[in-house]
A and B are shown apart, each in its own frame.
Chain A
């Protein structure tokens, strides 16, 4: 097991803190690390894709789980996979796709670990049908504060606290997943443009149930009548028989090629409002008004940005803040107000995504609630951004909504209980299972989780 002292941040590259990083190769090493972690506790970390400070532990221990990366069994008949928590979704796709299986849920990057996916209870473009990641977990092994390993199954309080629990109930060591059957690695993508926000909400409400994957890119720089204009992309897996002859020869091949990394220093001039406006204009005008049945490879559809490693550097030296919130059905007015406020403020953002959520998940700190979720990246250096986001928080909380904790790096702690009604259950379960505070992170300190 290697040990070193490192300065860590989330994917947004804000608020660095230093911790002792352990890289356990076996469950025993992980258990020994947790038992000997000292007063500042420990937290598991995967590939560092959480945007905020969920996988940092200032002055304490951080368990880098990426060395625990064995896929233990695959049942090619039923799609049941048992793997270590440090296995990435990228690796799972490489192994599973040739066998005709696909991960049940994938976010916009496939470089997340299975443990991280459960800890953050990630959702993808199929949330409205398939729910979030932990809904497809049949069983997991959890290393608890005392250093013993417990098997946790859905339906128990510990499972609901662990799914979306940001690693604060213990270290997830392995998981049993149920995968999704596919016959090709191609997607059939339908694209349409929505002229404004109301148009977009109508289209999402009317047609989402017909597609397995659906989300909309929304232009938050557009103002006036065009506020909320968007490009809606929805897709299905293509059955093998529907592929063109050439693609049918290797229907399940999955070899996404990485491009060179983003440069370490991006000129600040490229990050301002004018380039964002230009980019958004081109993206909106460049999208077809209506197109159906476009064939795209899996990686191109789900993870376009994974082709550019280190793309988070493009946010500039000060890093970025990801703001993601959800409000329930019936709160469209609040959503409209927030979208109008963001677009009036002229925030330089060009990757905002609106998604219609289906049923929520039982995880106590799980993010999805039935309704609407909007996510956007903002440069952290933007003057006055802290107060602006605080005022958006008030609006979200007032509408009974919530912000996503896995992406948060700046929420006002007082609002948390209003956003997550099961927070007190989570706190009391932690107090009972982990009275000594063996599991802590910067996020848990900041929000007193």
Chain B
């Protein structure tokens, strides 16, 4: 028989062993291709606006994440492969006993790797091509885009990346397999199947105590983060996270002993049917793989948290975009005569703007951030170490400012003649200024003492900006600014306008772009929209990408563990048959075992996520995002699809191995 035929036969023969391995490979290739391809597709370019840099950023970031993902997949595939090889050492031993040279065994291995690799790549990429198209459509739907220019395309670059990456992984796998066959002595190969003595869990008071402590820690952390998260300092927060992290390991270390003790002390339950058997299998399984269980639970937690919070960011973008872009364009023009400025540059204002306002901005050495911060300058310096507090803040007359309010469709501002207001939509700085204003910090403008009109800053924007990090505008009564000895001087003009038409807008932004930052600082609705969408798309995709990879890794590790345990416990099921357990009872026992192994780490992860989501929600609602429903629905969907797929594949594989 030719080596190739032997390889083919081997794969066919051990199909149930290979199922999880193959499933993981295909999923890996699919996911890898999908995320690398989606950036180069038309839809994505559309989503990110015409600017190519956004798309390039996207491709670059996804590419960087892909390196991490490739490493994760590489390790996972090597792990899965180790499981297969361990199971087949005896087979290789017999080949060699029959006089097959070790180079021929290597050749069989090489063919096997090639066959598995070829099919997984072909099938994976086929799925990946379809999935990436679906993803494009989802992106389009997410950001309410036109689907008319959607077309089916295959990304050559992603294809090459996927091929290179996975072929690299397969080569490593082959080399490792080859080594494990060549290095091992024949006796080791032949007896590898004989299982080593397992450490079987004993009921001990220690695990009982540890379990109670770790469970207590969890409850504490959940309550602390979930309900009082907003009032925590950074150190308290990290302490909680660390506590949860350690508790996870302690929890899984002790859970087996605890559950065993708890279940076996309830004799009525324990001594019913196969309950004792099922519980023993579960608890000893948990105890022997507590570390991997803990890691899996943490990975699942991260994935769930990513899914449920990452998606709310896009809700945020869609709802916030309306608020932060009231007009087509705003600019800070460093020219004292805007009309003349636009004339000079060949675009008279009334040619491109349907309606506009123009407001002079003054500056003076009396109105600085430092003056506004008052006694809190030191505190602000702790947060913003690089800031220059003597920077002058722009000043507007009250009546001018109210023109903006009118145009943006907001309520007019009212302040008395001895008062001032500070317009600032930069929350982190705002929080500190608020303290100063609440104490009635007095602003002295050339001898005129002004009191704050409100005990807080007014969190509105004047000039549009995607990031909401303007330095702010101080609004003063008209009479103060108008007085000749106020020490304020007009430095620029703020202009807010709506275009006559899109084309006119294109023309203006083109010219303004050429003039550069020295002449004008401007922002358009369009750039804000596309930049915030591209940031969001990147966040959503990275989160989705990593989340899915985490779920795959966790599910694959559990699946493989279940399969290898089933090989060890196949004899157990034969014994059960002799004792008289019916086929349906045995099936049920196996199903419960596989199910509980999949569910146990997930259950803890879900509880963690609930607390985490509550915290993130509290954190996000303070900046305006609250709707998480869709994110949670989506994460459920992905979990059911991937995790459920692994669960079913594992159960089928186990069923075949134990022969029921």
Q: Do A and B come from one complex?
A: no
List the interface of chain B (C-beta within 8 A of A): none
List the interface of chain A (C-beta within 8 A of B): none
